[in-house]
Amino acid sequence: MKNELVLKEFPILKQMIEEEKRKWEIDKIVFESNPIHWSNNKRKMYGMNTLRGSVNKNRILKFSTYRPSPKLFSFVEDTIEKLCHIRIENALLKNFVDVKDLKF
């Protein structure tokens, strides 16, 4: 019965991950389409001027990797905590320990 509660959260988790990935991919496309982030070789191929000085030195060339948001991280953490609690309650300590005595 309690396992069903945790299993219902997995589709929500999958949906949250897909939404964040989709948002990250859109941000990456926008980043890569901006010519300021292109290498000077690519800028030359498209007939643009090369960047020099502080503009060239301080620009970001690579888009940051995917990092989960705090909302997603806390949701995953809560789901794992619930699952661990249910597993302990149902299997490991069912016979000789009261779950009420445990602190999580």
Q: Each residue of 33-63: pLDDT tens digit?
A: 998 888 888 889 999 888 888 888 888 888 8
- pTM more than 0.85: no
Q: How confident is the model at residue 31 (pLDDT cuts 50, 70, 90)?
A: very high
Write the pLDDT tens digit of every residue in 3-29.
Answer: 565 567 778 888 988 999 999 999 999
Q: Is the pLDDT of residue 1 over 60?
A: no
Cβ(51)–Cβ(61) below 8 Å: no
Q: Is the pLDDT of residue 98 over 80?
A: no
The token pair that represents 40 in the structure block: 């000077």
Calculate mean pLDDT across residues 86-92.
69
